[in-house]
Amino acid sequence: DGRPKWDNKFQYILSCIGFAVGLGNVWRFPYLCQIHGGVLPYFIALLFEGIPLLHLELALGQCLRKGSIGAWTTISPYLRGVGVGSWMVSVLVSLYYNTVLTWVMWYFINSFQEPLPWSVCPLNENRTGLNEECYESTSVNYFWYRKTLNITPDVTESGTLQWWLILCLAACWAIVYLCTIRGIETMGKAIYVTAIFPYLVLTIFLIHGLTLPGATEGLVYLFTPNLNTLKNPRVWLDAATQIFFSLSLAFGGLIAFSSYNPPKNDCEKDAVTVAVVNCMTSLYASIPVFSVLGFKATTAYWDCLDRNIISIINEFDLPEESIMRQNYTAWISFLNSSYPEKIAGLKLKSCDLQDFLDQSVSGTGLAFIVFTQAIILMPGSQAWAILFFIMLFSLGLSSMFGNIEGVFTPLLELQILPKSIPKELLSGIICLISFLIALCFTLGSGSYWIDIFDSYAGSLPLLVIAFFEVTGVAYVYKIKRFSKDVKRMTGRKPNLYWQITWRFISPLLLLIVFVAFVTLQTQKPPSYAAWNPKYEGFPMKEEKVYPPWVLAICVLLALLPCVFVPLAALFHLIKQMCRSK
Amino acid sequence: RISNVLLCNVTDRVSFWFVVTDPSKNVTTVPGSEVEAAIRMNQNRINSAFLLSDKTLQFLKITSTLSPPVEPSTPVWLIVFGVVLCLIVAGILFLIVAGIRQGKKKNKQSTERENLEEKGEVTVTVENGIPCEALDLKAGHVNGVFAADDERFTSL
């Protein structure tokens, strides 16, 4: 019927998996594991929120064979706003997600140098020592905050456009255009590479990571559950919101993907497959991440010991190799008892491995600061850096495909442009406009804005849209009718688990999570951590509060997708009333 | 000269104090600041004499002027970026050209079909896909192969 379709089932499943498996699986899930000491809240959220919603979206798209806006209009014209809200979220997320890929690309093209640019500090002006900002923090921090972001000390100071980031941003949008130029025809071919390659690299890192010293400490640290944290409601909230972003629900991209399927396709099996693979990938990715973090903590601990040993040897004029790491504690206690004033005068830092392991980082910090530092310590660091950043790029790119499809498919169906204009032009226009808007993320304060977009546009609207999705299908379209549609497609009626979760558990859970989220957010004024070289506590980050106009933008970002739901319903109501008159 | 370097206060680790005497002025030692300046200028030669480096041979109170790292004229990342961008642009152009060509082929086929359908009044009989107007039916083409075999047919 002229609608494009997938070349084969494998392409479709791979696209859904690629969309779901993204950067969050590598750098957010291990962090949550570490902080919350376990994955139980995550599994419960997956079982009662993630999988039901995933099945719902895939079945919806396959049955109605339209993108998000068209599908929701077909369900009920009053629910058109849900589709528009999904579309809006996809637009906002695409804008900032590609900027994160820009940073990955920047690090990638810098990985071809010997030595790696983030391993050495540059010299200061009169060449007597190292650059001060670099010396006080670390060379890795300096390369990230100064050489990459050129970050300003405050979100209100915009700084200038960083030309190197603009170049990388243009390249990233060009790559996205190249892969999505004709919709799923080109994207389906690209997904074979971008979805499978990260697994290869993860395996390589897994094997290498397990051979590193200190890997076992890291893994033991990760897998010891901490049952105390389960009492904290924040833990459950984080798990519930994380599951949305992890499975890429409520973006409209999954509806778009499944709308290109043949109508008789087992969407129930697909949904469970995608959810399980996403989960397994997160767990699989945590192993190399924690091996490398354990290795880094152990190396930092050894460095700390070595520095103390050197000061002691210098002070007491002892021969080299007299104090080793193994007998360090024995020597320290001996010297402390015999010469306590000298030891106190040395101001030795206390070295504790647990402290180094506790320094948990998530998000961009994990990839660009912690991991890059660990890579410097490995032999053959260029190769590891190149592999790592290509993997991150593929992970993010396959997620970008889903985001762009969530934007592209509804626009194509709304027929905004006349039929004579080819698809290539529409995708080109979308990529060009997104590139121009995303230029503001290349300013000095860009990374602060990306954090804002991530926390406000990528969290609350998803909850609201998902809630309306489930209640819309369960109570407006009616579950009986939906079950009949699913039976037509898969050949069997959805069983009790689906009925209960779609009707009661998921909407209730979503409502609770939404209320809890809003209450927790409004309890204290939102703040951010700024990188300010002139701060007294430097290299610690300075805690600052958002000024009112920034808060207004935050609220706007969170409300903009949500407001379309009632607006569209109202609009349709008015149209109906005018027509009946 | 070696005999002018006197050692004192030798300790367990390889560290020592030294003074340099000036042979031309008999017993007086060369002032510390001059020795420091000389060492600073020739740190490399002293290091290589001991087969050590700035990190393993330390002169107390003398901070060495660090040599700047070697930077190529064009930064390496710009070269890699250029390569990546060329590949991307080549890919985009290839896909666009392929798309245009496919579009032209489809257009030609559909316009041919449209043209044939438009001329509904003049019914165009199609003979093996070639419109009969193209075939000159009045002036038939003599097929040389069959014509030559005319004599072979038995005449009735």
Q: What is the pLDDT of residues A340-349, one digit of tens each?
A: 887 777 777 7
Banded model confidence at residue B128, pLDDT cuts 50, 70, 90: low
pLDDT, tens only, A84-114: 999 999 999 999 999 999 999 999 999 998 8
The answer to whether A464 touches A560, Cβ cutoff 8 Å, is no
> Which amino acid is located at A260 in the chain?
Y
- Looking at CA atoms only, how far is residue B25 from chain A in angstroms? 34
Instruction: Round to whole Å and give the CA distance between A310 and A288.
Output: 32
The answer to whether A15 touches A191, Cβ cutoff 8 Å, is yes
When mean pLDDT is compared across A508-522, B68-82, B129-143, the lowest value belongs to B129-143
Percentage above 70 pLDDT, chain A: 98
Instruction: Please name every residue paired with A130 in a beta bridge, in sequence order, or none if there are none.
Output: A123
Banded model confidence at residue A233, pLDDT cuts 50, 70, 90: confident
Average pLDDT rounded to a whole number, residues A10-17 = 93
Would the pLDDT of A64 be above 80?
yes
- A107, A119, A424: best to mutate for the B interface, most B CBs within 10 A: A424
Average pLDDT rounded to a whole number, residues A331-356 = 80
> Which amino acid is located at B124 in the chain?
V
Average pLDDT rounded to a whole number, residues A145-155 = 90
Banded model confidence at residue A385, pLDDT cuts 50, 70, 90: very high
Would the pLDDT of B73 be above 70?
no
pLDDT at res. B29: 74
Average pLDDT, chain A: 87
Q: Could you tell me if A378 lies within 8 Å of chain B, comparing CB atoms?
A: no
Q: Tally C-beta pairs within 8 A across A and B.
A: 64
Chain B residues with CB inside 8 Å of A112's CB?
76-77, 80
Residue, of A307 and B118, whose pLDDT is higher: A307
Average pLDDT, chain B: 70
- Looking at CA atoms only, how far is residue B64 from chain A in angstroms? 7
Chain A residues with CB inside 8 Å of B81's CB?
109, 167-168, 171
pLDDT at res. A360: 65
Q: Which residue in A110, A317, A318 is closest to B77 by CB distance?
A: A110
Would the pLDDT of A172 be above 90?
yes
Instruction: Round to whole Å and give the CA distance between A261 and A268.
Output: 13
Is A21 annotated in a binding site? The answer is yes
Q: Output the 3-class SS for A428-470.
A: HHHHHHHHHHHHHHHCCCHHHHHHHHHHHCCCHHHHHHHHHHH
Does the beta-carbon distance from B80 to A109 stay under 8 Å?
A: yes
- Looking at CA atoms only, how far is residue B79 from chain A in angstroms? 9
Does the beta-carbon distance from A129 to B63 stay under 8 Å?
A: yes
Average pLDDT rounded to a whole number, residues A489-501 = 89
Banded model confidence at residue A420, pLDDT cuts 50, 70, 90: confident
Banded model confidence at residue B62, pLDDT cuts 50, 70, 90: low
Banded model confidence at residue B30, pLDDT cuts 50, 70, 90: confident
The architecture of the domain spanning A9-522+530-580 is Up-down Bundle (1.20)
Q: Which residue in A130, A318, A424 is closest to B13 by CB distance?
A: A318
Instruction: Round to whole Å and give the CA distance between A386 and A112.
Output: 8
Banded model confidence at residue B63, pLDDT cuts 50, 70, 90: low
Q: Which of A112, A109, A110, A248 is nearest to A175 (CA)?
A: A109
pLDDT at res. B40: 73
pLDDT at res. A38: 65
Does the beta-carbon distance from A112 to B92 stay under 8 Å?
A: no
Chain A residues with CB inside 8 Å of B63's CB?
128-129
- A107, A124, A178, A309: best to mutate for the B interface, most B CBs within 10 A: A178
Q: Indicate the pTM of the whole model.
A: 0.83
Instruction: Round to whole Å and give the CA distance between A305 and A297.
Output: 12
pLDDT, tens only, B2-11: 777 787 776 6
Does the beta-carbon distance from A319 to B13 stay under 8 Å?
A: yes
Banded model confidence at residue B120, pLDDT cuts 50, 70, 90: low
pLDDT at res. A178: 93
Would the pLDDT of A54 be above 50?
yes
Chain B residues with CB inside 8 Å of A167's CB?
81
Would the pLDDT of A70 be above 80?
yes
Instruction: Round to whole Å and give the CA distance between A516 and B112.
Output: 65
When mean pLDDT is compared across A405-409, A475-479, A519-523, the lowest value belongs to A519-523
The answer to whether A194 touches A471, Cβ cutoff 8 Å, is no
Q: Which residue in A112, A171, A317 is closest to B85 by CB distance?
A: A171
- Partner B, chain A 171-200, Cβ-Cβ below 8 Å: 171, 174-175, 177-178, 181-182, 186
- Looking at CA atoms only, how far is residue A393 from chain B in angstroms? 13
Question: Which phi and psi angles does A104 have, rounded to 5°?
Answer: -60, -45
The length of chain A in residues reads 581
Q: Where are the domains of chain A?
A: 9-522+530-580
Chain A residues with CB inside 8 Å of B12's CB?
317-319
Q: Could you tell me if B87 lies within 8 Å of chain A, comparing CB atoms?
A: no
Residue, of A333 and A143, whose pLDDT is higher: A143
Is A25 annotated in a binding site? The answer is yes
Would the pLDDT of A490 be above 80?
yes
Chain A residues with CB inside 8 Å of B103's CB?
422
Would the pLDDT of A10 be above 70?
yes
Banded model confidence at residue B136, pLDDT cuts 50, 70, 90: very low
- Looking at CA atoms only, how far is residue A379 from chain B in angstroms? 21
Q: Which residue in B12, B89, B99 is closest to A319 by CB distance?
A: B12
Banded model confidence at residue B149, pLDDT cuts 50, 70, 90: very low
pLDDT at res. B54: 66
The length of chain B in residues reads 156
Would the pLDDT of A395 be above 50?
yes
pLDDT at res. B115: 77
Would the pLDDT of A563 be above 70?
yes
Does the beta-carbon distance from A112 to B80 stay under 8 Å?
A: yes
CA atoms within 13 A on the CB side of A142: 17
Does the beta-carbon distance from B77 to A177 stay under 8 Å?
A: no
Chain B residues with CB inside 8 Å of A131's CB?
none
- Looking at CA atoms only, how far is residue B12 from chain A in angstroms? 5
Is A20 annotated in a binding site? The answer is yes
pLDDT at res. A1: 63
Could you tell me which chain A residue has the CA closest to the CA of B94?
A178
Model ipTM value:
0.81
Banded model confidence at residue B137, pLDDT cuts 50, 70, 90: very low
3-state secondary structure of B126: strand
pLDDT at res. A12: 93
Chain B residues with CB inside 8 Å of A127's CB?
65-66, 68
When mean pLDDT is compared across A37-41, A165-169, A413-417, A572-576, the lowest value belongs to A37-41
Q: Could you tell me if B82 lies within 8 Å of chain A, comparing CB atoms?
A: no
Residue, of B136 and A167, whose pLDDT is higher: A167
